[in-house]
Every structure is written in structure tokens, then in C-alpha cells.
């Protein structure tokens, strides 16, 4: 990469050089440069020694050096609670005439440490500003770097929820008695009813209210709003007599001739569900395939949304659901899987038995140290009611697709102000976050942050939640390391 020194700096340097032929160098002020291509004032590494009480393992904390903007900083911030204070630093520098740290204090006197002469003196990172000032060996150029020790203001491994609903439930109705939100070809749809009227709203993203519009809608007679599902680009819904209807636009509906009493969701391009006939239950699909009688322990109602996975152990994908009500009325907390051929209970350690559990693929922090935070995809499961009707908002996590469930750590548990719901839809959608003034040489100006949105669901009083709630793992909302 070629750098050009501004003409005014070049001329100043030449004047300084000419003057030095007839005057003592000590009388010449070095040229302050703001953009450097000069290796004689370039910092090549910056570390903090492990004798600091600021944070554990701080000697392995990586500092980025932004030569264009003159900033030295740790892109991966230190944990919440780290206290900036005195620390000894180590620099890699060319031969220079002076290297000094200037610590500026609000309303106080500056403090200066001459690093060239006393490299083992402490630098106070509690100062309001820390400047590293370097003067070249020939004393003709000087460069200043702002030194920043970044510390997280929020815990990156915590789940944060907006204190109030992020937006009202989409649609034109109040006092909603039934609701379902689905996604189809990049558009989100919320279907709702108040028992008399129906409403359909559509939007391109859950988080921008202006993109949701009222759409024309008609439903089959006695349609069950909560059964609305999507498969292969079409909408499906059941009526009170277990008839399955299909529509391309939720306005004109066609009776498929297939009977289902419960829809699990979609597998590939097929809708999968349960048929009730002569007191027995059967696994069925649409388009139709062979019917298989349901195992007595397998739920036939109140199941979570389906999660789909590709498997390295099979040439076919697998879908799973968690919880629900079996044919005998008992509740389950197990996860069941389907590979396109057969159903099986896959849980070894199940959740507490519930129906109406909200399940989604999301993230938790896999590794968190003083200088490294990484995330992994897991399953979240929460909400739903037990046999007594109690709704439990305890968050459970599975790192292996529902084989083992465990209670999530405290920092991921829901805040008290997040409503406890049963039958809610947990939809994960990404929002573009932006940042101005990035400090990196190749700055990230925006990134996609996945949020969890809670649509609908009933609270303990049996009312449909009137707002959409939004949550995020703090780490995902922080500026990515760059």
C-alpha cells in the first residue's frame, strides 16, 4: 500500500531539514503527523503485563493498532466489572528519541510517564484520556495515539429483553381471542380474530412497524386460527371438523380432502400432522403418504414449532418438536424427531411436562474469558403450561437438538417484566445494526444481529398477549471484532 504525505507536511519537513543545517536540532519542533506512512513512529505491538489487577489473563488481551486514525484499543472488550487502573505496558517500537504516555484527568493536572527511560512505570487507565506520544529518532516527526481500554457495559452472555412490548401485535383488531404468526417467502403474516372479525397483517420484518400492512383475508367456515401453517409456499388451516384447507393467498381456500386434527409443521415440502379416526391417532402428511399409528407417548396436540436439521448421520434431514399433550391427555416434556420415514422420542433428559412450549434456535456463549467470547447455536425452550395450567417462563437449553435439556444459567433467564405465555410463537429474525466511527483499518459499519420476537400466546388469565416482545443475547448486539 502506498501512502502520500500531505504537501504541507512535506514542505514543513523540508524547511525543518534545511534549518537543521545551520541550527541546533534541539531548536526545531518535530512535525506532528496525523496519517503515517513513516515506520520510525509506528507502534507494531501493544500488550499489558500480567501484574495488573484490572482483569484476569489480561496479558493475553489482544490490542489492535489503527495506524490511520492513531488509536490503540482492545476490540474484544473486558468483562463487566473490570476496573481500569494502573498497569505496566510493553511496546514494540523502532528506535525513537522519545516515547511517553500522557494521562489526562478531568479537572486535574496531566501526568506523564517517559516510557523511553522508565518502561516499567505504570500507566493509569483510569484517566479520562491516555495518549501515547512518539518522536522519531531524528526528532523531525511526532505521532500521537489514543490508547483505549474497552470494558463491556453489559454482560455479553446475558439475555436482554425490552422492558415493554417492542410493538403492538400486528393487525386491526383489539381484544384478540386467537392468533398465529407465520413466515412465508420472506414475509411475516399475523392472522388474528376477536371471535367475530378476522384480520391479516403482513410485513417484511418483525421489528419495523411501518412495514406491516393490513391484507385481504377470508377463512373457511369454523376455521381454527391457531392451526395456520405454511408448507412449500402455501398456507394451510384446519376447521373444527378436522378438514385441511390450502390457499396461496389466504383469501381463496380449497379443501384438500385430507383429515387432520393437529398440524406439527412442515417436513421438506410436505405438511405433517395427526389424523383422528375411530378413537385412534395416525401420523399423516399432505400430500398423502402411508398413515402410521401414533405411539401412545407421542403428543398429538399442543406441540412446539418444528425445528429442522441436516444430519451427518443420515442422508435425510430431521425435524423435531418438544412437549405437548398425548392422546390420553397426559403432558410431555420430551423431544420427538421425524426423519421422513419414522417418528421416535429422542430425549434422554427431557423438560418438565408442558404443552404450548415456545422453541427456537438461538445462541448462548460457549467460551467467555478476559479476551475471547464465542457463541454456539442451541435450542431455547420456554413458556407453556403444566397440567394445572401454571405457565412457567424458565428457560431451558439443549446443545444437542433436544436429546438433553437443562435449565439455562441465571444470566439467560427471563426478566420479571417479560410475560409468561403459553402457545406463543418464538420467531428469530435478524436486524441490521449500524455503527459510526469504527476504529479499524477496514471498519465494519453494519452487521446482522438475530433477535427473538415473541408473538401472541396466552397469559395466565387466558388473554392473548397484545404486544410483541423482543430479546437478544448481548454478545450478538455488540460491535463484531474487526
Please give the Cα distance from 434 to 177 (Å, whole number).
38
Structure confidence at residue 21 (pLDDT): 40
pLDDT at 178 over 80: yes
288 vs 270: CA distance, rounded Å: 9
Cell 396461496 sits on residue: 248
Instruction: Answer whether residue 218 shows pLDDT above 50.
Output: yes
Digit-coded pLDDT (tens) for 379-433 = 999 999 999 999 999 999 999 999 999 999 999 999 999 999 999 999 999 988 8
Strand 86-87 vs strand 178-184: parallel, antiparallel, or unpaired? unpaired
Query: What are 352-364's pLDDT values in tens digits?
Result: 999 999 999 999 9
- Strand 141-148 to strand 71-73: parallel, antiparallel, or no bridges (unpaired)? parallel
Banded model confidence at residue 3, pLDDT cuts 50, 70, 90: very low
Least confident range from 70-79, 88-97, 241-250, 408-417: namely: 70-79
Is it the case that residue 14 has pLDDT exceeding 80?
no
Q: What is the overall mean pLDDT for the chain?
A: 87
Give dist(CA 120, CA 117) in Å, integer: 9
Q: Is the pLDDT of residue 371 over 60?
A: no
* pLDDT tens for each residue of 92-139: 999 999 999 999 999 889 999 999 999 999 999 999 999 999 999 999
| Per-residue pLDDT at 474 | 87
Q: Please check the confidence at residue 215 and state whether its pLDDT lies above 70.
A: yes
Instruction: For residue range 434-470, list pLDDT tens digits in order.
Output: 765 444 445 567 888 999 999 999 999 999 999 999 9
Of the candidates 119, 80, 84, the one whose C-alpha atom is nearest the C-alpha of residue 98 is: 119
Whether residue 277 is predicted with pLDDT greater than 80 in this model: the reply is yes
Q: CA 213, CA 188: separation in Å to the nearest integer?
A: 11
- The 3-state secondary structure of 73-133 reads ECCCCECCCCCCCEECEEEECCCEEEEEEEEECCCCCCEEEECCCCCCCCEECCCCEEEEE
Q: How confident is the model at residue 163 (pLDDT cuts 50, 70, 90)?
A: confident
- Spatial strand order of the sheet with 223-231 comes to 223-231, 234-239, 243-247, 254-259
Q: Dihedrals φ, ψ of 25, to 5°?
A: -55, -25
Q: Strand 318-325 vs strand 307-309: parallel, antiparallel, or unpaired?
A: antiparallel
Q: Is the pLDDT of residue 89 over 60?
A: yes
Residue 376 predicted with pLDDT over 80: yes
Q: And the C-alpha cell for 469?
A: 416482545
Average pLDDT over residues 318-328: 97
| Alpha helices (H) along 133-282 | none
What percent of the chain clears pLDDT 90, i.e. is strictly above it? 67
pLDDT for 38 beyond 50: yes
pLDDT band at 164 (very low <50, low <70, confident <90, very high): confident
Residue 290: CB partners within 8 Å, gap ≥ 6?
Answer: none
Cell readout for 131 is: 495518549
For cell 479499524, the residue is: 440
CB atoms closer than 10 angstroms to residue 97: 16
Q: Do the beta carbons of residue 194 and residue 175 sit within 8 Å?
A: yes
Q: How many CB atoms lie within 10 A of CB 9?
A: 16
| Sheet hosting strand 187-193, strand order edge to edge | 178-184, 187-193, 198-203, 213-215
Residue 5: pLDDT band (50, 70, 90) is very low
Q: What is the largest CA-CA distance in the chain?
A: 110
Spatial distance between the Cα atoms of 35 and 65, rounded to a whole number of angstroms: 13
Q: Cα–chain-centroid distance for residue 279? A: 45
**pLDDT at position 152 over 70:** yes
Residue 458: its pLDDT value, please? 97
Check residue 369 and give its pLDDT. Answer: 52
Question: How many other CB atoms are there within 10 angstroms of residue 254's CB atom?
Answer: 12
Report how far residue 32's alpha carbon sits from residue 374's, in angstroms, rounded to the nearest whole number: 40
User: What is the pLDDT, as a whole number, of residue 68?
Assistant: 80
Amino acid at each position: 500500500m502506498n501512502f502520500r504525505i500531505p504537501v504541507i507536511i512535506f514542505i514543513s519537513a523540508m524547511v525543518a531539514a534545511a534549518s537543521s543545517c545551520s541550527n541546533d536540532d534541539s531548536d526545531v519542533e518535530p512535525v506532528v503527523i496525523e496519517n503515517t506512512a513513516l515506520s520510525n513512529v509506528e507502534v507494531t505491538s501493544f500488550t499489558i503485563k500480567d501484574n495488573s489487577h484490572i482483569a484476569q489473563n489480561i496479558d493475553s488481551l489482544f490490542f489492535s493498532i489503527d495506524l490511520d486514525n492513531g488509536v490503540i484499543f482492545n476490540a474484544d472488550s473486558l468483562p463487566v466489572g473490570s476496573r481500569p487502573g494502573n498497569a505496566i505496558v510493553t511496546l514494540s517500537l523502532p528506535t525513537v528519541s522519545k516515547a511517553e504516555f500522557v494521562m489526562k484527568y478531568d479537572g486535574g493536572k496531566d501526568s506523564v510517564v517517559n516510557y523511553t527511560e522508565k518502561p516499567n512505570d505504570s500507566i493509569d487507565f483510569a484517566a479520562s484520556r491516555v495518549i501515547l506520544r512518539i518522536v522519531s529518532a531524528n526528532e523531525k516527526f511526532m505521532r500521537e495515539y489514543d490508547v483505549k481500554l474497552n470494558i463491556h457495559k453489559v454482560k455479553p452472555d446475558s439475555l436482554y429483553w425490552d422492558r415493554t412490548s417492542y410493538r403492538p401485535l400486528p393487525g386491526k383488531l383489539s381484544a384478540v381471542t386467537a392468533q398465529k404468526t407465520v413466515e412465508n417467502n420472506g414475509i411475516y403474516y399475523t392472522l388474528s380474530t376477536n371471535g367475530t372479525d378476522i384480520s391479516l397483517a403482513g410485513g417484511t420484518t418483525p421489528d419495523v412497524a411501518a412495514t406491516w400492512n393490513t391484507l385481504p383475508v377470508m377463512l373457511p367456515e369454523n376455521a381454527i386460527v391457531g392451526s395456520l401453517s405454511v408448507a412449500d409456499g402455501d398456507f394451510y388451516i384446519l376447521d373444527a371438523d378436522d378438514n385441511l384447507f390450502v390457499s396461496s393467498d389466504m383469501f381463496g381456500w380449497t379443501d384438500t380432502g385430507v383429515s387432520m386434527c393437529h398440524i406439527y409443521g412442515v417436513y421438506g415440502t410436505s405438511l405433517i400432522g395427526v389424523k383422528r379416526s375411530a378413537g385412534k391417532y395416525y401420523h399423516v402428511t399432505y400430500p398423502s403418504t402411508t398413515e402410521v399409528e401414533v405411539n401412545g407417548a407421542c403428543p398429538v396436540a399442543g406441540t412446539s414449532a418444528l425445528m429442522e436439521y441436516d444430519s451427518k448421520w443420515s442422508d435425510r434431514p430431521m425435524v423435531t418438536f418438544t412437549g405437548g399433550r398425548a392422546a390420553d391427555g397426559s403432558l410431555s416434556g420430551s423431544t420427538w424427531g421425524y426423519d421422513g420415514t419414522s417418528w421416535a422420542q429422542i430425549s434422554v433428559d427431557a423438560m418438565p411436562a408442558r404443552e404450548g412450549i415456545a422453541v427456537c434456535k438461538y445462541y448462548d456463549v460457549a467460551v467467555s474469558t478476559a479476551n475471547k467470547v464465542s457463541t454456539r447455536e442451541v435450542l431455547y425452550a420456554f413458556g407453556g403450561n403444566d397440567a394445572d395450567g401454571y405457565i412457567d417462563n424458565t428457560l431451558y437449553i439443549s446443545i444437542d437438538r433436544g436429546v438433553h435439556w437443562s435449565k439455562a444459567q441465571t444470566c439467560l433467564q427471563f426478566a420479571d417484566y417479560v410475560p409468561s405465555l403459553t402457545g406463543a410463537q418464538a420467531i428469530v429474525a435478524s436486524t441490521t445494526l449500524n455503527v459510526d466511527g469504527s476504529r479499524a483499518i477496514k471498519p465494519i459499519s453494519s452487521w446482522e444481529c438475530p433477535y427473538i420476537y415473541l408473538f401472541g400466546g396466552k397469559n395466565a388469565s387466558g388473554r392473548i398477549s397484545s404486544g410483541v416482545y423482543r430479546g437478544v443475547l448481548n454478545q450478538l448486539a455488540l460491535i463484531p471484532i474487526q
